[in-house]
Every structure is written in structure tokens, then in C-alpha cells.
Structure 1
């Protein structure tokens, strides 16, 4: 409906109402006239209220369209303007070129303009012959205005609102020289660049044309004149506005968007909202650079000094983690309610239109920022980066130097580590020193500990173990066994396998690896019980583990090095069996025992050493030895004979240790006729072992509070890092406090409980649980910690967790004596 039709409708309705009222009045129907008029007015008011929003919008659109139409008409190529006479006091001569007579023209891409000072290619300027009586646009080149001689130098300052009309002839000469020079002289005052910029602004916002050409030109100007904060801010705003308006005409290329993001250094709320709308319109995921900007303005993101103190590192860490988490980027969503398209104009003429709400007020923008929940992962990622850099910040503050030390290198997130670890050469030399001809490295843990300055001790603390493992991780080496997987601290005389970690170990596979390593350790224990490991037994163990556990290449390589360590180095798996006894129920332990039996009977014979190892394992698993005999016997019962058992001679294996010597006469012992059908059934049943161990053996080596240095260790100690950092930045191990008595090694948390426990040699579980509650500790955790300590110190458990619970106080008495 046109505006004229609407006005006619309104006036016609009003006339009918008035005419009807007059007619009824003169017909002496006063009451009927009032009723009719009131009803009609009520209907009109109701319709007006119901459609008031639509009517208001229509009226505003009508006003705006008239204003924009007037603007476009004033800048049309065919528009005619009144010319004025040049003032005689102005020094200079008018331009002599090929401009059209008294017509404003925009010379866009693909055109050439002769202004008498040289030929301009792709000028992107407004120009006219003569001088207008009224100003049109600050960028308009009015050829009738006097211009100084070519090569004129001008020391005059440009006015705040620069315009070609208000410039002096010398200033016009400088501006025209900049245009003919390709608009690329970085030494020209930025005011001249703004005169040119006003024309680009008008062409995009008022004429609505040449969006891609203006985008290309702004991308060229920003690197040259971006040093000006004002120009950078205005140019960035126009750049993204032009990109958004270009989406109605085919849009811009992905490469252009990428270049625009890299050149935009100032992101206010409007520019960011426009950029996000452009990405959404072209179905482009949120890139890492804009993700960082969005998170930076989100009020939910925490503020920390590390974001400013280590700004470059924080930005790199956030972007790398974002790419690792989201790949190509986060898919954007828009709110149902659009936001108004806002722009802050630089030119005076457009600024006046903006004040009167006549510039772009009829356009709207998809509101990507309106759905804040889609950016919640960015908030979490921001917090995670702050937490990771806090450790590095503390390490650097304690070291007192910006030089990269071993401590600061290891505290740095792995995404930011560049170059080799400061201790790389020492570790690599150690690895090569203990490597055999096949490339396997089996080294004493004491040699590894000395690299970190750790002094000799029967057992390393968990903090010291973690120091070794963290340094190995940072260098790219693996140590097997690993305390973080086994939960067992290193003894000074332990030997470990050191290997190069070529593949990353998948997260979430630790439980599967621990289960596989458990079966491997138990299997090797039984297989080597006769003095040597049969190749068939080792192949069976390996095949069973590979079949049941689908480990990643990283964990598979770790398992290979553990197997080599077990085969070449004597080991004691008693602690491992005891842990199984606590973690598994009776039926699950029986499955583990059946798996070990299936290994021993691969050669269809059980040697004396294998039988002894099986019985010891069954005893540690708290299983009835009769069940073992039933598995080994034909028909389920053991038969006895006086014939001696033939003990197989141990074959040379190339590993340390003694072979079992052949005996001429052996005492009478048990011989079992194996039921191989039952053995086959056992092998099928033991497939369940993998699943149950995967759940039961998920051990995480957590640092005990008592293994951490106390707050009394001095100001040079960082509790979070567990090292002493000297003023020169070198690192030394944190020394443990002096020990007064064996029980003090437990720490303050468990010593009072131990003092109460050793008062009696037997306890019921209910009684001991009450004692544990009095000391604010958990009974099972306390028993495990005390037994781990006593095993390392005395070689046996102090607390026998049965019913009743027995305390081996003799261990402490022997220590005192």
C-alpha cells in the first residue's frame, strides 16, 4: 500500500464518521448518533492498538526510505548541482582534466580518471568539474577549486573534520599527489587518508555499491596506515560492514575473511557482532582467533594476572587447545531475535544522518552473541589455560629469572614447549650408556635419580618419583614401570626400562594397560618358575593379552618394554598379587588363578618350580590350594605316586640369575595327570579376566599429603613443584625432614593411628574401625598405607587384614633392637 493510498483511506474514514454524525444529529436521533459514533471510535482505537507496531514501522520506513532516496539522488551520476565562482584570494589554478561537466561521478574499479596531475587507475573517488554551491561529501574532488603546483610541500595541519573543499591549495596538491602515487606513501599524514576514506564509506553505506572493491582497498590500506589507532578503528568497522552488506551480492571469499580477521586489531561489540554474523551467513565455523576474542569479552571468563603477564603464551595456548578440541572450529548459532545493524560513521555528512537515525536503521543483523550458552566451552577452555599457566608463572617467579630452566620448562604446558629440555643431553647420554646391542635400555633407578640430584635412600618418595617421570615426559622418554600406573614407588636398587615415546598414549586407556600389565607380570612369574621362560609360554601370554586388550600403539610399545624388563630382570610380584586379593572377589580371583594354570600347562607338564609358584600365588590370592589340585588333576582329584618328578634343566636365556640344577635323586612328590580338555575350557573362561581386571586395576598414583614438603621447608620451596630453586635458577631435590624412629616415616596423619594399633596384637574389624574414626581416617586406606610402608622398610606386612585383624608388632621390636 502506498503512502498516498493510506492517507486517502484515513481521511475517507474520518469523513464518513463526521458525515454520519451530522446526518443523525439533524435527524433528531441524538442517542443513536452517540452510540454509533462511540462504537465506531472504539473499533478504530482497537484496530490501531492491535496494529500499532506495524503502523509505526510503516511510518518509520516511509520516512527513512524518503531520506535515503534523497541521499542517493544527491549522489547519482546524473545529479546536477549549482556551481559557484572561485574566490579570487585563493592561490592556485583549477584542475584541467577529463571530468564530466557539472555532474558528480564515482570512479570505481576498472576505470581511469585524468585529473590533470596524472592518470588514476581504479581511483574509487567522487569527482566533478567546477565547484558546488553547497558541500556534498568531504571526499568529493571539485576540479574548480584551486590547487597548488605539483611537488608543493605543505606544513599546515589539516582540520579535525578533513574535507577536500576546506583544504588549502597546497594541501589539495599533497592529497592529489598521494592519489596519483598509488595511495601507498606511509609518510603522508593520516588526515589525507581519511579524506579518501570518507568516499569509500559513502559508496558502501549510501550508494550500496562496490562492496568487494572497497573491502579489497581497506585490506590494502590497513597494513600501511594501521599505525593510527583512529584510522584502524574506523577502517575495521567499515571493513566488516562492507563484508556484511556484500553477503546480499554473493559475499566475499573465505581467504578475504581470513585476511580481514588477521588485520582487525580493534574489536568492539559492534564489529565483533558483524564479523560473527558474516561467518554464520557463509556457514564458516568460529576460527581460533575470533574464539579468543569472544572469550575475552565474556563476563563469565575469570580474570587473572597471567593473561597480561604472559599474554603471548596465553593466546597461543588458548588457540592451540581450541584447535585440538574443535578442529576447524565451533559451529555458530543465532538468536531468534535479531539485533540492529549499527555503525559509527567517520564522515561528517554520514555522521549527521546517523544522529537523525536515517543511516542503516532499516537493516538488522543476525544475533550470534545472543546465544551465550554456545560459548560456554570457551569459558571452560579459558579457565583451563589460566590454571595451566599459573604453574609456569609460579615457577618463573620463584626462579627469579626469565631463562628457561628444567623446572620452568616442565611447568610450561606441552603445547608451548619449543626446543629441547635443558637436561636432554644428560638423559640421552644415560639412555645410550645402558642400552644393549638390540637397543633395549635397562638402567638402575639410582642412576636416573642422580640426574635430578636425588640422594640415595632405600625407597624414593612419591614426589621424587614424580620428578623423574615428569622430566622423562618432557624429554619424550618413557619409564617402565610407571608409578602413575602401578601406584608403587621406586626402590633404590630397582631397574627400569627407558624408551623413546614415539606415539602419544591415548587418554582413557590407563585402566586397560594396568590390567594387561598385571596379566603379563603374573604370567611371566609362572612361566619363569622353572628357571627359564619357554618361548611358547611367552607367546601364549602375549597373544592372550593382545587378543583381550585393544591397546593403542603408545601403550603397546610400553607393554613391550615391560615384557623385556620382566624377562631380563628378576622381579617380585607378591605386592601385585596382594593387591589383586584386595581388589577382586573370590570368583574373580579364581579366574586369575585359572589363567596362570593355563600358562603352566602349555607343555602338558608342570614342573616343581611352576607348581611351587602356583601354590604360592594361590595362597597370596587367598584361594584354597585344593582348587589348584582340582584344576591340575584328571577327574578333579590329585593322585599321589612315589615316582620322582623330573625337573627340567633350565636353558640359557641370556639373562641374569641362576639356573635350576638337575638333581640325580629327587624326593617323592606329587605328579598330576593333566586333563587337557579341562585346560582348554579354562583358556576360554579366562577371557573374562581381561574385563574384570580392567575395572579392578584402574590404579591412579596420587601424591600423598605426607610426601609433600611441609610449609616449614623455607621460602625457596615451591610445594606445587616439589623442588628447591636457588637464586641462580638451578634445581636441587627437596630434602626430607630428619626421621626420629621408623614410624615417623608415615607422616603425622597415620602415626597416631599406628601408636594406638600396636597397643594390641589382635583386633576385631569393628574395634579397629572405631579407632580409625577417632583419628579421622579410613580404615582400609590406613591399612594399605601402613602395610606399604612396612613392606618397604621391613619386607613384610605389619597388619594382617583378616578376621581377627592381627598386628605383627615383632617387626617394630626388631627395628628398635
Structure 2
């Protein structure tokens, strides 16, 4: 690897800078180990005798002294450049030396790579070696993820081009490296803050999208590589060392789009976890942090996560729901206050269990209150479970809950009749299998918790008569969706109308004459006549009515909000869980609904976005806006301000009339 002799000409016609001429004087008594006498472009024949002594000493010591002047490293490097670009380039039989030269460059980089100039030249020289070697080994391992992103490693371009040229699909590890070094795909915070999680999730999602690998077509653009040698012996010119007919596919539009979409998906899935780690960097591996990770990345074998899931699964037997004391769940979950759970904490818990195939009732994501000591129901959700209720489910759950509450209040609760009502509604409204499973769990919870009317009555009284009338008519529509209504159901609806402060006779007015008044289960006919078959309702009309009644459903959700739920506070609070992707079955309506904000439910998220329309709201206008979203004004203000104080330390709404919006706080919430 050394040139020794009295004469060797460089490419520029001068003496080769790397040539060691034994006839030149060497001052071994005073070696210049710091290289202070060296020029920027050193040549052995022109450096001082003291510098020659230091250079020869460095060579004799194995070229490994980290204190050596970088000028001596470059002087040796010039010889490697000459050997590769001149000698091996002209004499192909010498290519067997290339692996050894490559190993030497890597070794030098490990010692002197912190020098930016040497790092740049040596890294580019490695690319030259990869091109000339055409070593299949270079395609077995992609450039490391997390390295310097610019420029895109030529080795990556070369390997991807060969894959496209030969019709081979790009595997996951190469796609990950491609995405990292792609000049048009820029990593965001989660990708850099959580590199291990990002790489693992990228591989999983890549396998889902491209189980056989990413197909890439060879384009017309060809690869070229021009190397600018460090040695002055090359006149400062560039050398085209490509010599290959390989396509350059790195920036092709189609694979770029697919990679960018995949990076965006993985980044979005990790954003809640990344934000949590940003605020609590010491919490990696805790239950609070694991609640925000996709289920595939959670280690359930041991630690807090494993113990919690083992306890929950230990309560379940087969597919049957299990009634537990919610206090035991709360005690095992990180909360701001003992024996209490905020909405955001409850969202984190239920979302975490949902990603592991376990449902909870009540569930704030499905319109229920936050967990508190008392009965709760655990149940297996299956693979097709969605993350939010459809309008049909919301309506059904409210009617079932009210029916149970009325029956319990009247002392006439009959489990068989309640189950019959559930089956009736499930069939009439075409609930998905997952929604049916949850509805049964919800009824179990309503019965076990006593479904009291007192709190519901107080909150209903806060609504206007028009709102209460809309709710009543809406529930009649739901209950009569299939055109068949039993006397028991009519009685229940009448009792609900009384609860709403409405005339119960309106129920009979709302029922169409063509409805069949069916018999409750187990009853017998008192006449010998068979009941006349009723004419079923137009299901499309029922579905349209449900869609038109989304605001009513939101009102009902507000009515069932637990006034005892503590406000969200920043201390030890588990963050809101990310929304799980929709699976099979009906997604929540509308399908194009915007995502929720910072753990809020859909109604409060929509209200928060609406506030951006103005910086000041007259109180009457805000009341109308809250009603439009099915929310009680004062409760909505408390909810939004509690979230704002948690996230930013300042309220988003201030003042009584008019109500001022802090636009900076609002924007920060919307960016959450």
C-alpha cells in the first residue's frame, strides 16, 4: 500500500505526492508530530525533514496513533487513491486488492473520521470501491439507518438500481434505508425521537402493504458517479468511475409516493407516544407510555404492561363479559388522583385495552362516563372492533340505557325483556357484530351499576323543550325501526317521554298505524285472532333519519356525561390513546369526519375547531354554537379550558360576555 522509489509521475506530470523517496533527508531527532510545517496539499518530496520523520514514524506504528496530524493520514490516503484510480483502473487483474483497500479505509475512518474533510473524501472513496468491486456483499446490508442523510449514499442508489434492473423487489430493510436517505422525504420528530420504534413499525406496515417487497420499474435515468480525488496529483479534476449501465430509481415518482405515504402513516401512529416521551423522557417502558404505542410494539411479556394485561385477561373466561370493580382497574393504571380517573386517562386505558382485543364498559370513546369505583364490564372485542360508535349504535345504547333506568326506577326490571329489546334493536338497525357485543356489555353495566335516573333527569332539565322533543322523537324512530313495537316497548317509551317532560300521548301519535303491536316474550294472546302483520319501515328512510339526528345523538352523549368525572390535570396523567385504524364493519359516521383533538370526543373537537372562526364570541352566539354541536355551554367551556390548562398552562376561553378566544392557545391545541 506504499509507493517507494526515486521517481514516479503523477497524473498532473509532477512527482507523485505519495512516493516515499529514500534519498530525501529525514530529521529523526526533531520529528514534527503535530504537522505544523505541513502544507494543505502535502507531497512527500516537498515536506520538511522533520515532517518526513513524523510521517515515517506514524507508518511504522501501524497508522493508528489518534494524535497524528491529519496531513499524514491524507499523505498515505493519496497512495490509496493512486492505486485504485490509476493502477487498478488500468489493470483489471489487480482488482483482488480492492477488498483490502476498502478495509483499510474503513479502519482509518474509525480513527480519524471526526475530521470532516477526511470523512468526506474517505466516504466518497468507499463508494468508488463499491462501484469497482461490484461485490454482492454490498447489496446484502443497506446503508445504516440514522446516518448522515446528504448526499444519498451511492451504494444505496447502486443496489436499488440493480434490483430494479433485475426485476427484484425491494425488501423492507432496503426500503427503510431508502426512505431515510431519500432527498424528498424529510423525517419528523417521532422518527428521530423514537428511532427503534419507528424502524420496527415501518417493517411491520411495509410487510402489510408490500408482502412480497416493493416493486420498482427501471427508468431511463442512468447512474453516474464523479469522484474528486484529495491528491493534488490529479490536478483537482473529477474522475468518472461509474462504468455501469444501471438505472437511478431513488427519486422515481411512484416508489417515492409509496414510501412517503408509509413514512407518514408510521409517523402518525407514533406521534402520541413521541409527544409523551418529549414531556416525560424517563417514562419509556412504563404503562403510561405503552398505552400510546401500537399493540404490535408493546412488550407484554413482563414489567408493568405484562402484569396489567395478565390481571385483565385473568378476569375473562372465554367470550363472556366479566363484571369487575372499576376501582381495581383504576388502581392499576397511572392516574393523577387515587380512585379517580379523568376522561383523558380513561381514554388512554380503554384505547390501550382495545388494541389488545379487550373492551370496557363504560367507555368514554363510546359516549360513556370515565371509570370510577363501582361496576365495570370487561369483554373480548374480536378483530373487527371499531374505535368509535356509529350513529345507529349511539341511538341504540341510549335507548337501552334509558329503558333499563326507567324499568329499574319503576321496580319492573325484567332481564328477559331487556335482552329482547336489545335483540330487537340490534336486528332492526343492522348493528355490526362488534357493536352487538358491546351493546350487551353496556346493558350488563347499566344493570349492575343501577342506571339511576336522578342525574339524567337533572341534565335533561337543562335542555330546551325543542331539544327534549327532538330526543323523544328520535328514540321513537329508533325503537320502531322495523315497524314492530310491543306493548312493553310502548310503555317504556311513554315513561321516557315523561322523563323528558313531554306528553306521553305523543308516543302513540308518533307511532304509525301500520306498526304491529307485538306481544312481549312469554305472553299469550287473549283472542283467537292472529295479529295483523305490520308494514315494515323503509330502512333507507330510517338510516336517513339517523344521519339527520347526529346532533340529537351528540345531545344524548352530553346528557350521559358523568358530572363527577374529575378534570384532566397534568400530574402523572396518562395521555389520550391514539385512534386505532378502522377495521371491518361500519365505521363511525360521517366517514369523512375529522380526527378528534388531543383526546377530546368528536363533539368537543368539532366545537374547538369552530372557535377558530372568530376571536370573540357573544355569549348567545356561543350558546347557539354549543347547541349545534350537541353540548351544554358551561360544561363545554370547562372541558375545553381544562384541556388548554393541561396542554399550555392557559385557558382557551376567557370572559363571560363576550367570550374571548386565545388564538395562540387554540392553535396549539389544534396542533396536538
Q: Distance in 2 between matches of 1:695 and 1:217?
A: 75
The one of 266, 275, 278 equivalent to 2:162 is: 278
Q: Distance in 2 between matches of 1:718 and 1:160?
A: 62
Q: Which residue of 2 aligns with 1:781?
A: 629
Q: Which residue of 1 aligns with 2:620?
A: 772
**Contact 1:512–1:694 at 8 Å: present in 2 too?**
yes
Q: Per-residue deviation at 1:612?
A: 1.4
Q: Which residue of 1 aligns with 2:575?
A: 721
The one of 364, 375, 379 equivalent to 1:499 is: 379
Residue 409 to residue 232, structure 1, CA distance change in 2 (3 Å): farther
5+ residue gaps, structure 2: 12-21, 23-32, 34-40, 45-55, 61-72, 114-118, 578-603, 608-616, 638-672
SS of equivalent to 2:359:
strand
**Contact 1:273–1:369 at 8 Å: present in 2 too?**
yes
Q: Per-residue deviation at 1:465?
A: 2.9
TM-score normalised by structure 2 residue count: 0.54
Q: Distance in 1 between matches of 2:402 and 2:211?
A: 43
Q: Which residue of 2 aligns with 1:613?
A: 492
Q: Distance in 1 between matches of 2:255 and 2:318?
A: 56
The one of 330, 333, 343 equivalent to 1:449 is: 330
Q: Per-residue deviation at 1:503?
A: 3.3
Residue 367 to residue 628, structure 1, CA distance change in 2 (3 Å): same
Q: Which residue of 2 aligns with 1:760?
A: none
Task: Please state if 1:422 is matched with 2:307.
Answer: no
The one of 246, 254, 258 equivalent to 2:140 is: 258
**Contact 1:388–1:413 at 8 Å: present in 2 too?**
yes
Q: Distance in 2 between matches of 1:436 and 1:416?
A: 26
Matches within 5 A, 1:338-377: 338=221, 341-344=224-227, 352=234, 359-360=240-241, 366-371=247-252, 375-376=256-257
Q: Per-residue deviation at 1:777?
A: 3.9
The one of 625, 631, 636 equivalent to 2:508 is: 625
Q: Per-residue deviation at 1:625?
A: 0.6
**Contact 1:306–1:389 at 8 Å: present in 2 too?**
yes
Q: Which residue of 2 aligns with 1:593?
A: 480
Task: Please state if 1:406 is matched with 2:287.
Answer: yes
Q: Which residue of 2 aligns with 1:17?
A: none
Q: Which residue of 2 aligns with 1:233?
A: 123
Q: Distance in 2 between matches of 1:786 and 1:548?
A: 36
Q: Distance in 2 between matches of 1:303 and 1:720?
A: 27
List per-residue Cα deviations over 1:357-411 (Å, max 9, x = no partner).
Answer: 6644886763434546853565566566667666545544655736633333334
Q: Distance in 1 between matches of 2:254 and 2:420?
A: 57
The one of 360, 382, 389 equivalent to 1:479 is: 360
**Contact 2:623–2:633 at 8 Å: present in 1 too?**
no
Residue 389 to residue 696, structure 1, CA distance change in 2 (3 Å): same
Q: Which moved more, 1:526-535 or 1:365-374?
A: 526-535
SS of equivalent to 1:678:
coil
The one of 361, 386, 393 equivalent to 1:514 is: 393
Q: Per-residue deviation at 1:279?
A: 3.2
Q: Distance in 1 between matches of 2:625 and 2:417?
A: 47
Residue 282 to residue 674, structure 1, CA distance change in 2 (3 Å): farther
List per-residue Cα deviations over 1:401-431 (Å, max 9, x = no partner).
Answer: 3663333333455554324462653564466
- How many residues in Structure 1 have an aligned counterpart in Structure 2? 524
**Contact 1:340–1:365 at 8 Å: present in 2 too?**
yes
Task: Please state if 1:544 is matched with 2:427.
Answer: yes
Residue 258 to residue 557, structure 1, CA distance change in 2 (3 Å): farther
TM-score normalised by structure 1 residue count: 0.46
**Contact 1:449–1:468 at 8 Å: present in 2 too?**
no
List per-residue Cα deviations over 1:707-760 (Å, max 9, x = no partner).
Answer: 9968xx7xx64889389xxxxxxxxxxxxxxxxxxxxxxx9xx9xxxxxxxxxx
**Contact 2:476–2:510 at 8 Å: present in 1 too?**
no
**Contact 2:158–2:246 at 8 Å: present in 1 too?**
yes
List per-residue Cα deviations over 1:89-111 (Å, max 9, x = no partner).
Answer: xxxxxxxxxxxxxxxxxxxxxxx
Q: Distance in 2 between matches of 1:418 and 1:240?
A: 39
Q: Distance in 2 between matches of 1:299 and 1:708?
A: 48
Residue 357 to residue 571, structure 1, CA distance change in 2 (3 Å): same
SS of equivalent to 1:443:
strand
**Contact 2:180–2:187 at 8 Å: present in 1 too?**
no
Residue 451 to residue 320, structure 1, CA distance change in 2 (3 Å): same
Q: Distance in 2 between matches of 1:208 and 1:589?
A: 88
Residue 474 to residue 498, structure 1, CA distance change in 2 (3 Å): same
**Contact 2:417–2:520 at 8 Å: present in 1 too?**
no
Matches within 5 A, 1:183-198: none
CA-atom RMSD in angstroms: 6.7
**Contact 1:592–1:686 at 8 Å: present in 2 too?**
no
Q: Distance in 1 between matches of 2:200 and 2:312?
A: 34
**Contact 1:340–1:361 at 8 Å: present in 2 too?**
yes
List per-residue Cα deviations over 1:649-695 (Å, max 9, x = no partner).
Answer: 99xxxxxxxxxxxxxxxxxxx9899864523x42x755875686588
Q: Per-residue deviation at 1:313?
A: 4.2
Q: Per-residue deviation at 1:484?
A: 0.8
SS of equivalent to 1:488:
coil
Task: Please state if 1:466 is matched with 2:347.
Answer: yes
Q: Distance in 2 between matches of 1:342 and 1:582?
A: 72
Matches within 5 A, 1:4-83: none
SS of equivalent to 2:304:
coil
Q: Which residue of 2 aligns with 1:489?
A: 369
SS of equivalent to 1:478:
strand
**Contact 1:214–1:242 at 8 Å: present in 2 too?**
no
List per-residue Cα deviations over 1:187-222 (Å, max 9, x = no partner).
Answer: xx99999989977777985567999x8999999999
Q: Distance in 2 between matches of 1:556 and 1:647?
A: 20
5+ residue gaps, structure 1: 1-124, 126-130, 138-145, 147-156, 163-170, 176-188, 247-251, 601-605, 639-644, 651-669, 724-746, 751-768, 790-817
Residue 776 to residue 618, structure 1, CA distance change in 2 (3 Å): closer
Q: Distance in 1 between matches of 2:516 and 2:240?
A: 97
**Contact 2:145–2:176 at 8 Å: present in 1 too?**
no
Q: Which residue of 1 aligns with 2:585?
A: none
**Contact 1:286–1:331 at 8 Å: present in 2 too?**
yes
Q: Distance in 2 between matches of 1:719 and 1:421?
A: 19
Q: Per-residue deviation at 1:342?
A: 1.1
List per-residue Cα deviations over 1:429-454 (Å, max 9, x = no partner).
Answer: 4664x667986411243443344457
Q: Distance in 2 between matches of 1:510 and 1:299?
A: 41
Q: Distance in 2 between matches of 1:718 and 1:543?
A: 40
SS of equivalent to 2:383:
coil
Q: Distance in 1 between matches of 2:521 and 2:191?
A: 70
